[in-house]
Amino acid sequence: MVTSPETLAFLREVRLFSAFTDPDLHAIASRLRERTLRKRQVLFREGAPGDEMFIVRRGTMLVSKEITGKVEQVLVRVDAGDFFGEMSLLDGSPRSASVQADTDATLLVLGRESLQALTDQTPHAAAVFFYSMVQVFIERLRRSTLQVAEATRWGLEATGLDVESR
């Protein structure tokens, strides 16, 4: 549990928690735990089981995807105030990418059991959490859709197809 005034002040700055009232923020903060990583330490590998999400409190994390057996592509750097791992938290699916610390890092961890306790004991806080997650999912989906369209256009251009004429 990490309900110190510093942690609460940090969470108030995290976009995911911007719509939380003080009681709701306290409710979720009381269910978080802290984890530290050293630079280059792997948090988890793609395909590993998972049931937690992580909020970066300090440092930077690298999210990467295996392209071939020897090649990994960094997908995103996750900085302080952002989060990752929410898919496995919500649906229990294996990790869709690998994550390691780019710098020494401190993470706040929300596990599935803690989320279930939040839902059971403070349903309003859970509803605000899920609504905030949906907003982030929509934003990320829109960004992914644009990236797929751009990658498709690049692929078509590489074949010599004139994608500008209609």
Element (H, E) at 52: strand 52-58
- 94 pLDDT band, cuts 50/70/90, is very high
- 72 pLDDT band, cuts 50/70/90, is confident
Does this model's pTM top 0.85? no
Mean pLDDT of 47-63: 95
Burial of 91 (0-12, 13-18, 19+ CB in 10 A): exposed
Rg, C-alpha atoms of the chain: 18
pLDDT digits (tens, 9 = 90+) for 95-148: 999 999 999 999 999 999 999 999 999 999 999 999 998 888 888 777 777 677
Structure confidence at residue 165 (pLDDT): 58
- Please, where are the H alpha helices in the chain? 5-13, 22-29, 86-91, 112-121, 123-158
Mean pLDDT of 16-30: 93
**Domain 5-158: which CATH number of 3.30.300.30, 3.40.50.2000, 2.60.120.10, 2.130.10.30:** 2.60.120.10
In degrees rounded to 5, what are phi and psi of residue 107? -120, 150
Structure confidence at residue 63 (pLDDT): 94
User: CB–CB of 127/27 below 8 Å?
Assistant: no
Domain boundaries, the chain: 5-158
Structure confidence at residue 79 (pLDDT): 96
